[in-house]
A and B are shown apart, each in its own frame.
Chain A
Amino acid sequence: MKHDVILRIGAKLILPFILLFAFYVQFHGDYGPGGGFQAGVMSAGMLILYSIVFGNDALNRVAPRAVVERFVPIGALLFATVGLAGPWAGKRYLDYTPLAHDVVHAREWGILLVEVGVFITVAATMTTIYYAFTERGQT
């Protein structure tokens, strides 16, 4: 679909806004609907739309397959590591209170970090699935 001008220009116009909305959903998740999962799927959707219009080679330049695959465990590990802050300070696992001096503030921080972990794993997994399906057809 590389040669369709309308698709190319339309996609280029819409792509940054999809990513912006994904980040809005991610960081505004404390106040509005959505969170790491929805934001992750949206940013993966942005990458997939980019690949559909401009081809897998273009996507490989922006988000190389090997890098994306490495991010799949990083998000889950970030989540699990944030949870270790509790046992480290003698509290229970996934207790966020040691993350800051004020309890409420600590829980806010914990939620933010954990959502980032979810975002990384979801976005990377969705993109990896797309890569796995499309690159199999080409070999």
Chain B
Amino acid sequence: MEAYILMALLALLAAITIAIVFQRSLFAVVILAGIYSFLMATVMIVLDAVDVAMTEASVGAGISTVVFLATLHLTRAREYPRPRSVMLPLFVSSVVAAVLVWGTFELPRFGAAETPIHQHIAPHYLKEAKRETGVPNVVTAVLADYRSFDTLGETTVIFTGGIGILVLLRGRRRKRGEDKDAVDPGVRDA
């Protein structure tokens, strides 16, 4: 049953991807991308990764859609006409897709228990997390305790991203002020 649900969801994902490629109105593309994210969140729920599904639904479908719409408000909502030749982009994406598919042949079967990631330190986390940290949710225990260095790094990345967007989108107004300051001494000299 789960396999059929997954197949239906993946077929819908493929259909939406094709629709995004052929859609010229960027408004429709943004909405389709939001639908894509919600479908992806459903796929994550089927795979029992509820945390990832929550993140995908709130960031991918929620915040990203709003930011994209705000961007469309600042720019134009139509895509530029497509370049005359589609052969080169088609070639590049086919080669990349072929390499990615080729790469999956080496991957272990989905959910196989004998793979290194399931044998290294994960069993320890699963068995001992409740006793060692007092937190029943292993994901939270790993994120905030065993691997808190990674989470500190992630928080710093979010902080840096926010600062970067502030600098990019607010820079112009300040620059104009600086230009005025730069001109003023020259005027005084003259």
Contacts and interface: CB of A to CB of B under 8 A. Distances in A.
A48 B63 CA distance: 8
Interface string A80-123: 10010000000000101000000011011011001101100110
A31 B51 contact: no
A53 interface: no
A124 B162 contact: yes
B133 to A, nearest CB: 4
B148 A126 contact: no
Contacts, number: 139
A11 interface: no
Interface stretch (B54-62, B96-104, B105-113): B54-62
A98 B58 CA distance: 35
Contacts of A36: 144
Interface string B57-71: 011001100110011
Interface residues of A, number: 51
Interface in B61-86: 62-63, 66-67, 70-71, 73-74
Interface in B115-153: 131-137, 139-141, 143-145, 148-149, 151-152
Contact of A38 (B55, B136, B163): B55
B59 A41 contact: yes
A50 interface: no
Interface stretch (B6-14, B25-33, B166-174, B180-188): B166-174
Nearest to A45: B62
Contact of B132 (A29, A34, A35, A104): A104
A37 interface: yes
A132 B169 contact: yes
A80 B133 contact: no
Interface residues of B, number: 44
Dominant secondary structure of chain B at its interface with chain A: helix
Contacts of A34: 50-51, 54
Nearest to A52: B66
B155 interface: yes
Greatest chain A CB density within 10 A among B58, B156, B163 is at B58
A130 interface: yes
Nearest to A102: B134
B158 interface: yes
Nearest to B144: A111
> 7 closest Cβ contacts across the A-B interface?
A125-B162, A133-B70, A33-B50, A111-B144, A132-B169, A104-B134, A41-B58
22 contacts: A30-B135, A31-B136, A33-B139, A38-B51, A38-B54, A41-B58, A41-B63, A48-B63, A72-B159, A75-B159, A76-B155, A76-B158, A79-B151, A80-B152, A107-B132, A110-B148, A114-B148, A118-B155, A126-B63, A129-B165, A133-B67, A134-B73
